[in-house]
Structure 1
Amino acid sequence: MDVLQVFQKIKELPVIPKLMHELMDSFNDENSDIGKIAEKIAMDQVISAKVLRMANSAAYRRGKEVASVEQAVIRIGFARLRSLVVAASLSGGFKISSDFNIQKFWTDTFQVATIARTLAAQSSAVQIEPETAFTCALLHDIGELLIQSALPEEAGLISISMEQGASRVEAQRELLGFDYSQVGAELARQWSLSQTFIDAIAKQLNPLQHEEVSSEAVLIRLSVFVSFAWDAGVPAELIVKRFPKPLAEHLGVDPETLAPQLEELHQQGNALAEMLTS
């Protein structure tokens, strides 16, 4: 089975709201009408409620609680609000088995995203807009969501293989013939997302081995490394020492500057995930 056969088996792809499409397109449009987009967000009660919860989370809380999307734009800025809307849209688009720990999925995803945004802001060798980096990282594991929702039996077998010592990528490639990054990239194509997001998802596992390097994919790979090591209990000083040098050099980031921020970044990710899934 190849990755396209998976999509042929799926009777109904997860649908993302038209609002999310407009927001994804706005990444490349400097003339986007922020006011009109904020009005559209406010009209979607489910998404606006999730966005307001996240805007009032510990990650962004400053002063009084925000009570409207317009106030959220003022509080955290349109670029950041846009990223939260993307997350809110994704969270409701997949029908996931109760066996899958969706809380952990979003916690891990937001932790990676907060690290990616910080690294993008610190990058001196390439220029990446921090909120674009954040959104790429939010999308990096959407292939896993599709595997869990569309192939639950295979997902269960993959889980068993991982319990026996295989990595997630090894188990998926052995059982399916492909992995979550390929599924995610194809889903992004079918959703008509821009090439920036498709490349970031598709190239994340070995970002420097492609002829055309996606700096966003490099950010994802480095952020996943940092987040995984932190969650495994590796001290910040040791994480810095083990930083994959080729990835850091491509971005032009100094690992030493990241170490003091790791605990706060993970707390922000935890807070956003909790608000999204509550």
Structure 2
Amino acid sequence: MQIQDLLKQTDKLPNVPDVVRELIQLLNNSKANYSDIAASVSHDQTISLKVLRVVNSAYFGLSRKISSIDEATVLLGMDKLKTLVIASGFSSSVSQVDGIKLPEFWAESFRVAELAQWFAKRTERVDADEAFTVGIVHNIGRLLLHLTEPDIAQDIYALVANRKASRLKAEHDLLGFTTQDAGKALMDLWKFPSGLGDAVQQHKRPFAEGDPIPLACVLNLACYISACIRTDRDLDLVRDGFPSAVAKAAGLSAGVIYELDDALMIGEGLNHLLG
């Protein structure tokens, strides 16, 4: 099988709103006109309602109710609005997927995104907005596989669940490529910045292609901490297993290991977007 066999099934691909794609394509454009973006967001009723629900939640703790995207932009700033719009747009991109519980899938993606952003803010090598975005889409290849080839996706799951193969080996054996490869291909199709796709493709094994990409390293760390949160791992065990070489390649100081208790508190702030 080729990755293009998945991408050719255009009727099954996630339907990401245009305003979300536009925002992601503008991530590195310092001259972008974000007032036009805010106007586009306002015209997308689904995204606007979800974003305003989060803005008015305890997560932000604002002193008064916000009733418009323009108000949200003024009070929160475009950076926070971007993250909310991107998260909302992706979580609305599909309504049902065989073999995936979407609320759990997106809740995990949101947590990885916030963790990636947390790590990115502690290094000068990674942009925090890019880290958040790549966290949201880090598992989009698995979503693509379940949408287009649900039977193969189930076979891979069975091999992993029965401990007959690692996820990586099972995907290579049954597909000939990984879902990270598929994720990059889908992001390339959407014309997202190439660095985002490269990070998704390489984050599982950031040293496999030679010099690691800092964004891929940050994503690797975010996935590690998210797994620790999911399994309720003790802080000492989290520190013992922390991939210090990956952290160093991301440009993080050795002292970040003593801040991991804060990272472990990151959780469900964006889950209002799933309603």
Q: How many residues align?
A: 272
- 2:137 aligns to what? 139
Instruction: Give the secondary-structure state (helix, strand or coil) at the position aligned to 2:13.
Output: coil
- 2:67 aligns to what? 67
After the TM superposition, which residues 121-136 of structure 1 pair with which residues of structure 2 at under 5 Å, given as runs? 121-123=121-123, 126-136=124-134
Q: Distance in 2 between matches of 1:179 and 1:132?
A: 22
- 2:161 aligns to what? 163
Q: Distance in 2 between matches of 1:80 and 1:138?
A: 14
**CA deviations over 1:66-119 (Å, ceiling 9, x no partner):** 221122223332112112211222122235335421111111111111111111
- 2:226 aligns to what? 227
* TM-score of the superposed pair, with normalisation by structure 1: 0.90
**Which portions of structure 1, spanning 4 or more consecutive aligned residues, are displaced by more than 4 angstroms?**
9-12
After the TM superposition, which residues 38-187 of structure 1 pair with which residues of structure 2 at under 5 Å, given as runs? 38-97=38-97, 99-123=99-123, 126-165=124-163, 166-187=165-186
Deviation at 1:218, TM superposition (A): 0.6
Q: Percent identity?
A: 25
The code of the aligned residue for 2:152 comes to E
Q: Is the Cα–Cα contact under 8 Å of residues 162 and 168 in structure 1 kept in the other structure?
A: yes
State the Cα RMSD in Å. Answer: 1.9
The code of the aligned residue for 2:133 comes to T
* TM-score of the superposed pair, with normalisation by structure 2: 0.91
Instruction: Give the secondary-structure state (helix, strand or coil) at the position aligned to 1:60.
Output: coil
Q: Is the Cα–Cα contact under 8 Å of residues 87 and 110 in structure 2 kept in the other structure?
A: no
Q: Is the Cα–Cα contact under 8 Å of residues 171 and 177 in structure 2 kept in the other structure?
A: yes
The code of the aligned residue for 2:192 comes to L
1:208 aligns with 2:207: yes
The code of the aligned residue for 2:273 comes to L
- 2:262 aligns to what? 261
Q: Is the Cα–Cα contact under 8 Å of residues 96 and 148 in structure 1 kept in the other structure?
A: no
Instruction: Give the secondary-structure state (helix, strand or coil) at the position aligned to 2:90.
Output: helix
Q: Is the Cα–Cα contact under 8 Å of residues 133 and 219 in structure 1 kept in the other structure?
A: yes
- 1:236 aligns to what? 235
Q: Distance in 1 between matches of 2:29 and 2:136?
A: 20
1:276 aligns with 2:273: yes
Unaligned runs of 5+ in 2: none
Instruction: Give the secondary-structure state (helix, strand or coil) at the position aligned to 2:270.
Output: helix
CA shift in 2, pair 1:57/1:11, >3 Å: same
Deviation at 1:219, TM superposition (A): 0.6
Deviation at 1:228, TM superposition (A): 0.4
CA shift in 2, pair 1:190/1:71, >3 Å: same
Deviation at 1:262, TM superposition (A): 3.0
